[in-house]
Amino acid sequence: MKNLTAQDISFTDFKLNGFYNLGEWRPFLFIPFFLMFLLSLTANSVLIYLIICQKSLHSPMYVLIALMAVVDLILPIFFVPNMLLSFLFNWSGISIVGCLMQMFCIHYVGAFQSTLLLWMALDRYFAICRPLYYHKCMEIPNFLKFVAVPLIRNGLLNISMVSLAGKLTFCVTNVIDHCFCEHMALVQLACGDITINNMVGLLTAFLIPTLDFILITSSYVVIFASVYKSGKAHMKAINTCITHIIIMTSSLIFALIAFMSYRIRNNFSNNSRVFVSTMYILFPSCFNPIVYGVRTKEIRQRFLQLISEIKVFPL
């Protein structure tokens, strides 16, 4: 009879134990994360409702903002409910198939946030620098030409990353030190060579959020140069660009810190790594709709109008 070695055994069920070393304080994490989850659901739902119900907000820019709100609404649902149950009842089990599915959904939909910011930059570029061609370029058939390449890129990179992770043999432990199935949190449990997985993960990080950041920054440099030459004609549009830059910068900082935290472990505690990775997803989902609501005049006015109507017609 053949003796089984560690490499012959591969775990198919895992436990997610993010923040586990907090001990008896861990259940108290339910409160802040639940409040952030509730804020995300409420703020994004209100933003989507305002844009759908107000015909004056049916221009391409606001449609893109609504799509961003949909992404921000969906993304936390993939992991926050399970995380909250884990905090309260220690329900932390997940199968390898469920883990890989969760990983793909989180990373692919998360990449869609970056792509939407790129689309918004394109929208502002055509509106400010090529106004005569704006309506033609923003027609659905023409606009799809611009978005097809990023969507295909996101899909191929994330499918490759998850597929390679699924081929690994996991014999180190079945305990994932995270609150969800983050790519490197799972891959580091493999007992074989993970060099390719590491490289594909880094490639995904730099070809999606970093490349999008470079393209967005380049477009805004052109936009700001155009506005500077034309004077104050497009200051309203610049205000919208500044909103995008705030959201883009905060999202990219969290994303890169989360991706790089596994490569510079000595400078990151386990709790810090899990916190940053969780905030990379949850923070933008909570505060993107607030930033858009505060800094976008039309959305702010519609929201105040909605509040006044609720006061006039109380339940």
- C-alpha to C-alpha distance for 184 and 198, rounded to whole angstroms: 8
Per-run averaged pLDDT (10 residues), the chain, 315 residues:
53 87 86 94 92 84 88 92 90 90 91 85 83 77 76 90 91 86 88 88 85 85 79 61 74 72 66 83 86 79 79 57
Domains of the chain plus CATH, in order, are 12-310 (1.20.1070.10)
Check residue 98 and give its pLDDT. 92
Helix (H) or strand (E) holding 94: strand 93-95
Q: Do the beta carbons of residue 18 and residue 179 sit within 8 Å? A: yes
Check residue 206 and give its pLDDT. 83
Residues in the chain: 315
- C-alpha to C-alpha distance for 248 and 94, rounded to whole angstroms: 32
Q: Which one-letter DSSP state was computed for residue 206?
A: I
Q: Which of 37, 33, 21 lies closest to 175, judged by CA?
A: 21
Q: CB 190: neighbour CB atoms within 10 A?
A: 17
The distance in angstroms from the start CA to the end CA of the chain is 74
Check residue 31 and give its pLDDT. 94
Determine phi and psi for 15, rounding to 5 degrees.
-120, 130
Check residue 196 and give its pLDDT. 92
Q: Do the beta carbons of residue 92 and residue 15 sit within 8 Å? A: yes
Check residue 58 and give its pLDDT. 82
